Amino acid sequence: MDWEADALRRLEKVPIFVRSRAKKKIEEYAQRRGSTAVTSADVTNARGEMAGGPADEKDKPTIEDLLERGALPEGLKSRSHEVKVCGGAAGCPLSLIDDTPISRLLFSVLEESGLAGGKAEGPVLFHHRFRVALSGCPNACSQPQITDFGVIGQARPERGEAPCSQCGACVDHCREEAVSLSEEGPIFDYSRCVSCGVCIRACPCGSITGQWSGYRLLAGGKLGRHPRLAETLLDCADDSRLAQALKGAVRLYMEQRREGERFAGLVERLGIERVREFIFPRD
């Protein structure tokens, strides 16, 4: 099926690992509407339909509608903060977590933080908006390394009870070379492992299982004139620690930022250890 130039440019922005699926769904939508070529409007309306919402642009769902349905295909934004999600919310098979409810949790924490008004003056300029990015796996296509607060899904492998067939699929699929084989089965070098879960999916006999799944939390990333990569705040976090970390990061920002200072600048000025102590004072 033909695609108009604007529609094709929008398709190229879809993460490559879900692009073919998205393309098929959009073309199916356009065909049902009797279109001979996919337009930019078809892309917009098909995405709304895939999210479980109205197909017409004029009926585009509000933030509240999306939260109610748990459908977050493009993330959520407000005047003072935003949550950016990866392709996991649209069904990416690589995602190690359930992206949609976690996106809801993150946005709810931001909504209740006081950033948007009240006694606290929330960020107004685009580059002062408190930005959160959620990635379902270490591929990190939502770019959590360059946002104020980043969340990356993790799944740490361990040897399961099923006997190893010595097929070597786990070794072949591990790009970090963190898996080797012994007579007893796979051995993991956790100093190299990024907890991506690839070896777990590659194992055909179940001799590798997930030891745990959770999140790696990052803080203090940004682009701009002086770019900075976010630093690891916590590994192996669960939902409770995730919420605690984001609440603490926002509270730190509101209480200790200097005029015009971005969160990344605050983290750089204080140092990640002091930031961690503020957020997790009892650890």
pLDDT tens digit sequence for 9-48: 888 876 565 577 778 888 988 888 888 899 988 887 776 6
pLDDT at 118: 40
Taking only the tens place, the pLDDT of each residue in 221-248 is 999 888 999 999 999 899 999 999 999 9
Domains of the chain: 1-60 (1.10.8.550), 62-157+211-283 (3.30.413.10), 158-210 (3.30.70.20)
Query: What's the token pair of residue 27?
Result: 């073309």
The answer to whether 136 and 86 are in contact (CB under 8 A) is: yes
**Greater pLDDT, 134 or 210:** 134
Amino acid (1-letter code) at residue 281: P
Residue 267 pLDDT class (50, 70, 90 cuts): very high
Closest CA to 134 of 182, 90, 180, 99: 99
Query: What's the token pair of residue 2?
Result: 């033909």
Residue 218 pLDDT class (50, 70, 90 cuts): very high
Taking only the tens place, the pLDDT of each residue in 57-81 is 444 444 444 444 444 444 566 777 8
The answer to whether 257 and 263 are in contact (CB under 8 A) is: yes
What's the chain's average pLDDT? 82
**Greater pLDDT, 47 or 124:** 47
Closest CA to 205 of 241, 181, 238: 181
CB atoms within 10 A of CB 8: 14
Instruction: Answer whether residue 196 shows pLDDT above 80.
Output: yes
